[in-house]
Structure 1
Amino acid sequence: MAVTCTTLEQVRENIDRLDRQIVALLAERGSFVSQAARFKKDSDGVKAPQRVEQVINKVRELSHTLGANPDVTEQVYRAMISAFIQQELAEHAALTQPTT
């Protein structure tokens, strides 16, 4: 639950605190993305558009439940997922390259 701030400085301090938590969660999510690359057979498996839509639907529902703006949540998640797909494609390619 968000606290009610009485100054802009308090607002910024709380945003900074949340940013630290969000980046920590992104790092944790990224480590699972890296692990997922090992289980996927090809780049189509990495891109997994049906899974992307499943995640988007899930987070939109969570947004409604938790009082977040579902459109903002979807935009953030689409950007995040796109970035993680690029990371995973690079990692998947490295895993599947023949060693010389």
Structure 2
Amino acid sequence: MTILPGSQCTTMAEVRTGVDQLDRELVALLRRRFDYMDAAARIKPERGAVRDEARKAQVIANARAAAEAAGLPGAAIADLWDRLVEASIAYEFEAFDRR
């Protein structure tokens, strides 16, 4: 089935096909993001360096600003990014502990 831009969808089947494809793309992007967490765990000299609250705040602020610039709800995106960053930190701790 052809994947149409949201603005061109006229049926729920088209919408769902597009959403499913985007979800697959998002998971692939998350894999790439978590690859960077593997790299960070390899590069950081000590476990205590895994959590960096200043960097976390910066990443969330950047996502919120980008979301708002794109016409998306900044607070909702900031909440998603908070969860994403926390999941990334947990993953990085696990990666650090495996090395």
Q: Which of the five TM-score ranges fits, normalised by the shorter chain?
A: 0.7 to 0.9
Cross-structure match for 2:84: 80
Distance 2:60 2:20 in 1: 26
Distance 2:93 2:19 in 1: 32
Correspondence 1:51-90 to 2 at 5 A: 51-90=55-94
- Normalising by structure 1, report the TM-score: 0.85
Distance 1:2 1:56 in 2: 26
Deviation at 1:76, TM superposition (A): 1.3
Please tell me the residue identity of whatever aligns with 1:14.
G
Deviation at 1:7, TM superposition (A): 1.3
Deviation at 1:77, TM superposition (A): 1.0
Give the % identical residues.
29
Gaps of 5+ in 1: 96-100
CA RMSD of aligned residues (A): 1.4
- The answer to whether 1:26 aligns with 2:24 is no
Q: How many residues align?
A: 95
Please tell me the residue identity of whatever aligns with 1:34.
D
Contact 2:42 2:96 in 1 (8 A): yes
Deviation at 1:58, TM superposition (A): 0.5
Distance 1:57 1:88 in 2: 21
Gaps of 5+ in 2: none
